[in-house]
Amino acid sequence: MAKIELNNIAHSYNPHDANPLFALKEMSLSWADGGRYALLGPSGCGKTTMLNIMSGLVTPSHGRVMFDQKDVTHTITEERNIAQVFQFPVIYGTMSVYENLAFPLKCRHFADDQIDKKVKEVAEILNLQDFLKNRAKGLTADQKQLISLGRGLVREDVAAILMDEPLTVIDPDLKFRLRRKLKEINAKYKTTLIYVTHDQNEAMTFADNIIVMDEGEVVQAGSPKDLFERPQTTFVGYFIGSPAMNLYECQADNTNQVSLGMNTISVQTNLDQKNTSNLKLGIRSEYITVEQSSGPNTIHADVIEVEDFGNYKLITAQQDSLRIKAKVKREQVVPTDKVFLKFPAEHCCIYANNKLI
């Protein structure tokens, strides 16, 4: 295991062109040994490129990759001690489950008794011990994905296990179980796990550190709580959370007050001496409350729709051009025509030029 650092990394697939296009814009990141990370972002944002740079499948056009202070930028994949799980399960179809798990060790010329011990240990963790003699080809998609993961786990020298949307082919219930299994593995072996996904739920439930990417840039890195409560950009606010964060254009009235259409909303952000052009107010639908009467930070809006999602209700309300989405408890009584919605000041985020103030 190792600490992985990306120093001023950038990657362009046409670096020698007059105007190179960068799949990954310059950034520096550090991945602590034994951490559980998720790389989150929409398709084409550079997640897989970053992952492939770490595994050595792609050599970055700029910057350096360091494993425990050692420069491995130009080290080939085989010598990097990285394990990678791909979106679709990769198994050796002609081999048994046992042979599949043993393969990375055999390639590294381990002794048979060592291989046997390690394979059985990993098979037990992954609940594959009953299938060891079976042909890998005949297993289900999730079992095959476990084999892919197992080939990374049998190696004790693995610096990190990189997973590129590994649960795409697996049904929701199994996804949940496998994510739990991955957490257990991380806790037991202290292996650094880096998980690429475009699914925020997967990222939020799996990782203790999430790196959100957009258009080749890291837009925010932090814990699930940070990303949810204090999104650093409007993109993160929009991308994380279901429904997306409510975002409205607003004007600064004074140091901690903004006007939102015909409403005045108090916020805890100090707007004094800050760049107050192109301001936006963002608030999570989870923090908007339904009130019985008008009051401070309350907006009186028409109820457009109330959707019952079983464990919560989603209110869609509108006041002129402001469309507000509020998530309330299922038991909450919601008026059918007009509703008072309160924006608690402590949960209002103010963005100038799409960046959190």
> Could you list the residues that contact another protein (CB under 8 A)?
55, 57, 76-78, 82-84, 86-88, 90, 92-95, 103-104, 107-108, 135, 148, 151
Name the residue nearer to another protein (CB basis): 149 or 182.
Answer: 149
Q: How far is Cα 348 from Cα 268, in angstroms, rounded to an integer?
A: 7
Strand partners, 326: 315
In terms of phi and psi (left: phi > 0; alpha: psi -120 to 50; beta: otherwise), the region of 77 is alpha
User: Using an 8 Å Cβ cutoff, are 183 and 36 in contact?
Assistant: yes
- Cβ-based nearer residue to another protein, 103 or 239: 103
Smaller CB separation from another protein, 96 or 289: 96
Least distance from C-beta 83 to another protein, angstroms? 6
CB 25, min distance to another protein, A: 24
Adjacency order of strands within the sheet including 312-319: 289-291, 338-342, 298-308, 312-319, 322-329
CB of 304 to another protein, least distance (A): 45
CB of 152 or CB of 241, closer to another protein? 152
Residue (of 136, 191, 131) closest to 158 by Cα position:
191
Q: Where are the alpha helices (DSSP H) in the chain?
A: 47-55, 97-107, 112-125, 141-153, 172-189, 200-206, 224-229, 234-239
Neighbour-count burial of 339, counting CB atoms closer than 10 A to its CB (0-12 exposed, 13-18 middle, 19+ buried): buried
Q: Smallest distance from the beta carbon of 240 to another protein, in angstroms?
A: 29
- Residue 170 or 265: which CB sits closer to another protein? 170
Closer to another protein at the Cβ: 115 or 348?
115
- The least CB distance from residue 84 to another protein, in Å, is 5
**Which segments of 61-191 does DSSP mark as H helices, in order?**
97-107, 112-125, 141-153, 172-189
CB of 151 to another protein, least distance (A): 6
Residue 35 vs 150, nearer CB to another protein: 150
CA-to-CA distance for 314 and 321, rounded, in angstroms? 19
Nearest alpha carbon to residue 249 among 241, 258, 240, 257: 258
Q: What is the smallest separation between the CB atom of 55 and another protein, expressed in angstroms?
A: 7
Nearer CB in complex with another protein: 157/253: 157
Token pair, residue 174, equals 């199994």
CB of 162 to another protein, least distance (A): 9
Least distance between another protein and beta carbon 88 (Å): 6
Beta carbon nearer to another protein, 90 or 247 = 90
> Which two structure tokens, joined as six digits, stand for 113?
């008794």
| Closest among 323, 175, 173, 172 to 244, alpha carbons compared | 323
| Inter-residue contact 120 to 129 (CB < 8 Å) | yes
- Under 8 Å CB-to-CB from 58, ≥6 apart: which residues? 11, 49, 52
